[in-house]
Chain A
Amino acid sequence: MDLYAELIIEHAKRPQHAGLREPFDTETHHLNPSCGDEVTLRVRLDRSGEHPVLADVSYDAMGCSISVAATSVLAEECLGRPVPETLQTYAAMHAMLTSRGQDEGDPEQIGDGVAFAGVSRYPMRVKCALLGWAAYLDALARAGVDIGGAPTDVRALERS
């Protein structure tokens, strides 16, 4: 099955940087009402430089392999990077996921995220892959980061 790339199964079985850690600046809890998948996510920002840096992102994800793996890839790709760059990663992920199979994804920009290219061909599963990102954007917004007006509800995010 093209949906379940090896990388997705691996991330789902062994989610990277999983578990809720202290200290943190903000915590969000998001769920997908159509299936009950849930994620709790925390961020800690380092604001000593010009741009805030994602000093830590930790999470507890409960759900299907797509939603757990997507949150794991989010953590792997974004941890330790300047927040504006992580928002670019998000934008590239979002573009690929909502492309209905047209955008294969650029490994330079989204790393292991390319494993999710197949998800875009299953419109019912796009929300699964976006749930962790919705929680992340919300956590950033609550920490006072400008997220460019992106919605933080996963259903709205899918359509944005």
Chain B
Amino acid sequence: MAPRTPLTAQEVARIRADFPILARTVRQDRPLVYLDSGATSQKPLCVLDAERDFYLHHNAAVHRGAHQLAEEATDAFESARTRVAKFIGARPADVVFTRNGTEAINLVAYALSNAGAPGALDGADPAAAARLRLGPGDEIVVTEMEHHANLVPWQELARRTGASLRWIGVTDEGHLADPAEVIGPRTRVVAVTHVSNVLGTRTDVAAVVAAARAVGALTVLDACQSVPHFPVDVTELDVDFLVFTGHKLLGPQGIGVLWGRGELLAAMPPFLTGGSMIEMVRMEGSTYAPPPQRFEAGVPMAAQAVGLAAACDYLDRIGMAQVAAHDNALVTHALQRLAERPWVRVLGPTDPADRVGAVSFVVDGVHPHDVGQVLDDAGVAVRTGHHCAWPLHRRLRVPASTRASFHVYTTTAEVDAFVEALDRVPDIFGVSA
């Protein structure tokens, strides 16, 4: 990726004008400083307009009915699929819309256990089918830094299939240990995060894929925190499945994406069943549509898909390389300002080159909830707690942390406002600054 110059202050100001919520005040007229984009991003007007336009002019049930509105709604939904596919360098037929990132991961996990049911793989390509079988003696590998969304579904899959769960550890510095030490001949699935939602560290996907490929294991990449911040291309990454979520990508809540290799999706049994995903239904049993429809049971979230496509347009107009450069400038600035404060302990590597989108930290002697409350009082919105990554916090020997996270509308002045608000913490709680 060619490094670009970060966005100028004028460019960020123009971007911010597209997000009216950023101009509001909170807690007694404090200007909002929104540093919780890692939890969910704000949405530009064009995304809201796209959703509204769908409901105003084209609303109908997608893939049902033959009237003109049904045709337009179906067209809008399928065009959105094409647009979102292009954003990650994928074929539209390999892109499945889900309710969120969590559901996309569960879709893969449930398809894998459903694959064990009698007849579930009948007629499937034998090579692909063989990769979907999982049972006692097999291993599923995750990492110790996963979001619960990419951990609990695999614990449950292990329980249902009798496979065992293993994990790649995290070093004291917050880096992933060597994946090759855990991935072995019994490994059938490797599910890892692309970017840690706590540490902001980027996984060496090539190393994981090489180790998994060597033993024929499936690779699942949780890209919820990477796709929003830098260019992601499924062909380059060479994983088998990739998952992300719309609401962290300036898109609406209520939509996630599963991308999968065509031949694997084609062999996979469904997760949710019902209307819209069938080929033929008889009382005795049914056959299922090819992907992606096989995995989209029920009336889909068409307006959200249209909104997500608009978000992809918006980010591509700025340019994802530029978005990445802006993010890196923010992370660099935040790490610098926090390093000036010896009472702040940043979790994970302190080299901004290793970081994407977020900085988590602790103030020893003060609980993150209390840190977050002081920031909130100054209008600064951050995340506090374990950020759905409880095992990682346990590994780093902290009960919880405070996370400041950024997006394309975040300014360095906001980072300054955040650290200045943070300066009240030692005084209020009587710890030495």
A residues within 8 Å of B by Cβ?
1, 3-4, 9, 12-13, 34-37, 62-66, 122, 125, 128
Query: Of A1, A13, A125, which contacts B369 at CB under 8 A?
Result: A125
Contact sample, A vs B, 28 pairs, CB 8 Å cutoff: A1-B377, A4-B370, A4-B373, A4-B428, A9-B430, A12-B429, A35-B369, A36-B385, A36-B386, A36-B390, A36-B393, A36-B399, A37-B367, A37-B369, A37-B399, A62-B399, A63-B367, A64-B367, A64-B368, A64-B370, A65-B366, A65-B369, A65-B370, A65-B429, A66-B369, A122-B373, A125-B373, A128-B369
In the complex where A35-B384, A125-B369 touch, is A9 in contact with B400 (Cβ < 8 A)? no
Determine the residue in chain A with the shortest Cβ distance to B398: A36
Knowing that A64-B367, A65-B366 touch, tell me 5 more A-B residue pairs with CB under 8 angstroms: A1-B377, A35-B386, A35-B400, A65-B369, A122-B373
Contacts of B429 in A (CB 8 A): 4, 9, 12, 65
* Complex Cα spacing A65 to B377, Å: 16
B400→A36 contact, CB < 8 A: yes
Q: What chain B residues lie within 8 Å of A37 (beta carbons)? A: 367, 369, 399
List the B residue with the shortest CB-CB distance to A34.
Answer: B385
Whether B428 pairs with A1 at a CB distance below 8 angstroms is yes
User: Is the CB–CB distance between A1 and B399 below 8 Å?
Assistant: no
With a CB–CB cut-off of 8 A, which chain B residues contact A125? 369, 373
* Minimum Cβ distance to chain A for residue B363 (Å): 12
Most A CB contacts (10 A, CB to CB) among B366, B370, B428, B430 go to: B370
> In whole angstroms, how far apart are the Cα atoms of A9 and B368 in the complex?
15
B residues near A12, Cβ cutoff 8 Å:
429
Q: Which 4 A-B pairs have the closest CB atoms?
A: A64-B369, A64-B367, A35-B385, A65-B370
A95–B264 alpha-carbon span in the complex (Å):
56
Instruction: Flag whether B301 is at the interface (Cβ < 8 A).
Output: no
Residues of B within 8 A of A66 (CB): 369-370
Query: Which of A35, A63, A125, A128 counts the most B-chain CB atoms under 10 A from its CB?
Result: A35
From B367, B393, B399, contact of A65 by CB (8 A) = B367
- Please report B residues at the A interface, Cβ cutoff 8 Å: 366-370, 373-374, 377, 384-386, 390, 393, 399-400, 428-430
Residues of B contacting A: mostly? helix
CB contacts (< 8 Å) of A65 on chain B: these are 366-367, 369-370, 429
For residue B374, which residues in chain A have a CB less than 8 angstroms away from its CB? 1
Closest to A63 in B: B367
Minimum CB–CB distance from A115 to chain B (whole Å) comes to 15
Given A34-B385, A35-B384, A35-B386, A1–B373 Cβ distance below 8 Å? yes
With a cutoff of 8 Å between Cβ atoms, the chain A residues found around residue B368 in the complex are 35, 64
Contacts of A128 in B (CB 8 A): 369
Q: How far is the CA of A128 from the CA of B366 in the complex (A)?
A: 15
> Given the complex of chains A and B, what is the CA–CA distance between A116 and B101 in angstroms?
38
Contacts of B366 in A (CB 8 A): 65
Q: CB-nearest residue of chain A relative to B367?
A: A64
Cα A64 to Cα B365 with chains together (Å): 10
State in angstroms the CA–CA spacing of A3 and B429 once bound together. Answer: 12
Q: B184 to nearest A CB, angstroms?
A: 33
Chain A residue contacts of B384, Cβ below 8 A:
35
Residue from A3, A9, A36, A62 in contact with B373 in the complex, judged by beta carbons closer than 8 Å: A3
Query: Which residues from chain B contact A1 at a C-beta distance below 8 Å?
Result: 373-374, 377, 428
Question: A65 vs B367: C-alpha distance in the bound complex, in angstroms?
Answer: 7
Assuming the A-B contacts A36-B393, A64-B369, A65-B370, are A9 and B428 also in contact, with contact meaning beta carbons closer than 8 angstroms in the complex?
Answer: yes
Q: Shortest beta-carbon distance, B221 to chain A, in Å? A: 27
- From residue A100, how far is it (CB to closest CB) to chain B in Å? 15
Collect the chain B residues with CB atoms within 8 Å of residue A13's CB: 430
A41 to B255 alpha-carbon distance, docked (Å): 43
Give Cα A23 to B419, complex, Å. 47
Residues of A within 8 A of B373 (CB): 1, 3-4, 122, 125
Within 8 Å CB of B399, what residues of A?
Answer: 36-37, 62-63
Give the residues in chain A near B400, CB-CB below 8 Å.
Answer: 35-36
Residue in chain B with minimal CB distance to A62: B399
Most buried by A among B373, B377, B386: B373
Chain B residues whose C-beta falls within 8 Å of the C-beta of A3 in the assembled complex: 373, 377
User: What's the minimum C-beta distance from B292 to chain A, rounded to whole angstroms?
Assistant: 34
Distance, CA A36 to CA B387, complexed state (A): 10
Return B367 CB to nearest CB of chain A, in Å: 4
**Bound Cα distance A37, B370 (Å):** 12
Given the complex, which residues of A lie within 8 Å of B390, measured CB to CB?
36
Q: How far is the CB of B30 from chain A (nearest CB, A)?
A: 12
The residues of A that contact B370 with a CB separation of less than 8 Å are: 4, 64-66
CA distance A27 to B386 in the complex (A): 26
